[in-house]
Amino acid sequence: MAGADGRGTVKPEEVLRRLRRIRREARAILAGRPAPALARSMHTVERACHLAAWQIGDAMTLLPEGDGAQEPPRSTRRPLARRARVRRSAR
Amino acid sequence: MALNSRYWNPLSELRPPAESARLQFRRIRAVLRYAYARSPMYRRLYDQAGVHPDRVRTLRDFIERVPTLDKKDLMEAQAQRPPYGTALAVPAERIAYRFQTSGTTGVPLLIPMIEESTVLYGEPWTYLFWSVGLRPGDTFYFPFNWGTFIGFWAAYWGVRRLGGTVVSGGGMDTRARVQMLLQVRPAAVVGTPTYLLHMAEVARELKVHLPQAGVRVLATAGEPGPSVPATRRAIEEAWGARVYELYGIGEVGSIAPGCPGQGGVHLCEDVAASLVVGPDGRPVPEGEVGEHLVTSFCQHAQPLIKYRSHDLVRWRRGRCPACGRTWTAFEGGVLGRTDHMIIIKGTNVYPTAVEAVLGEVRELSEHFEVHASHADGGDSLLVKVEAAPGVPSDRFGDVERAAEDLLRGRIGVRIGVEVVAPGALPRYELKAKRFFDHRPKERQWQVQMEGGR
């Protein structure tokens, strides 16, 4: 149980580390092209993680997928690259 | 969940001001990059101004080099490429909601929202609810028709975030809503100050004693009210509940929850950054009144950067003695509009100041209109105000003189007062129209500002 100041007993850095792990897992599930219902739930997980990071003061892109003006975070590169390969091989 | 926590998010609400300023600037840079990369309107605007987001390295760069944006710019962008226009920064399929607000030309301004925006848009409401003791499981009554006005949709998103129970009063008249209140007995009611006062009037007609409904908190938005002591008192006495406000701007966000100490609002720094500027467009010192330029972090679909709110605020930094928050405070909430302020013999007069003084006259009600006009080389104000119920009409002349004397004593200039019978002025479900400007356009502060840049 957190104290009356509401800060909790887990440090923000640790929360951020865990959030990044959860986002990686959610993206890995999404990369496996799950059923629409499950994909929707994973998007929700990813967005919730991004929001939590923003509230802590960490996220510096407005959207979980980045702002389009800079390189996406390292953790997103692999699934995106994999998706591109799938698209190329389908042609 | 730490239900005993005083704060919804102490990491944000108690962030040291210096750290907060650094974070806010990083967020401003993020939104500049975002808008430049995604929105054709912003790319053109910044290219024309010769400013690239990567060149905005300091807050001073942001203040001096980044151009402001006004509602008419968005209107033009939407007109160029309907429906959402060239300001749009997301693919249309990302849009989860579409709202609208009144435009500058009679055509409504569309407000597209993506799912992420709705969460951040609702969050300041959650901050407000939490700070005044509302918790998951509490019931919220919405006497609101779920129309195109975004304000109370945002409150709804805030209740969903909190984990409260939503009860809709949509599609009912005020009498039915008053009766429903007694059945539901909500912890909180959400509405405009004007409408909460109207509900109180209807309850009196129905011989319903509103405090019997057991409401603890009234949460308002859309117009000033709870920061004006007399209006706050009128609402609280009628309802037997505490009233708090949230300052929001339809197209920007619900940006500033009221202080639990009721002395104003705090800018929720998760969702927006502020500059407060004078008529010359330069920041005014702490404690002075200026126009609020706002940069939204919660409007992903239609970004808003240095957006002219036309709202007049008095800003303060530092730890709030009433609630402990370190977020920027706007003392007294929104003090008026740049287009509503008038200068009489060198004195700035705001309708909210007039409202505060009138509230001290017992024989007057809280229903009033302020009419500004221009004659004999100067601006003047006439206030039309309803007498309180039960005041005989042969007393109106005495009440007018008493109110005029009080206004002159408090504000320092002569303001005419015309007392009218109870019920003579119109009632509104959402925002009340209080200010009527009959002056020539060039007399208005808004125009002076535009001329000053």
Per-residue model confidence as pLDDT tens digits over B217-276: 999 998 878 888 888 999 999 999 999 999 999 999 999 999 999 999 999 999 999 999
Would you give the end-to-end CA distance of chain B in angstroms? 50
Calpha distance B222→B199 (Å, rounded): 16
pLDDT at B94 over 60: yes
List of chain A residues whose C-beta atoms are within 8 Å of the C-beta of residue B12: 55, 57
Contact B290, B313 (CB under 8 A): yes
- Are A5 and B5 in contact (CB < 8 Å)? yes
Long-range contacts of A19-26 (CB under 8 A, 24+ apart): A19/A49, A19/A52, A19/A53, A20/A49, A20/A75, A22/A49, A23/A49, A23/A50, A23/A64, A23/A75, A24/A75
- Long-range contacts of residues A24-30, Cβ cutoff 8 Å, at least 24 apart: A24/A75, A27/A75, A27/A76, A27/A79, A28/A79, A30/A79
Which residues from chain A sit within 8 angstroms of residue B302, using beta carbons? none
Question: CB B93: neighbour CB atoms within 10 A?
Answer: 7
- Give the type of residue at B225: G
User: What DSSP string describes B203-269?
Assistant: HHHTT--GGGG---EEEE-SS--TTSHHHHHHHHHHHTSEEEEEEEETTTEEEEEBPTTSSEEE--T
Q: Nearest by CB to A51, which of B11, B15, B119? A: B119
Residues of A in contact with B116 (CB under 8 A): 47, 50-51, 62-64
> What is the least distance, in Å, from the CA of B27 to any CA of chain A?
6
Kindly state whether A57 is in contact with chain B, defined as any CB-CB distance less than 8 angstroms. yes
pLDDT at B443: 56
Per residue in B303-354, pLDDT tens? 999 999 999 999 999 999 999 999 999 999 998 888 777 777 667 787 778 8
Report the C-alpha gap between B258 and B333 in whole angstroms.
Answer: 8
Q: Give B311's Cβ-side CA count (13 Å radius).
A: 26
Q: Give tens-digit pLDDT for A37-87.
A: 999 999 999 999 999 999 898 877 888 776 554 433 333 333 434 444 444
pLDDT, tens digit, 9 for 90 and up, residues B55-73? 999 999 999 999 999 998 9
pLDDT score for B335 = 87
Chain A interface, mutation test: which of B4, B31, B90, most A Cβ atoms within 10 Å? B4
- Interatomic CA distance for residues B249 and B294, integer angstroms: 10
pLDDT tens for B105-162 read: 667 899 999 999 999 999 999 999 999 999 999 999 999 889 888 889 999 999 999 9
Highest mean pLDDT of the ranges A47-61, B268-282, B371-385, B407-421: B268-282
B335/B103: higher pLDDT: B335
Cβ–Cβ of B30/A50 closer than 8 Å?
no
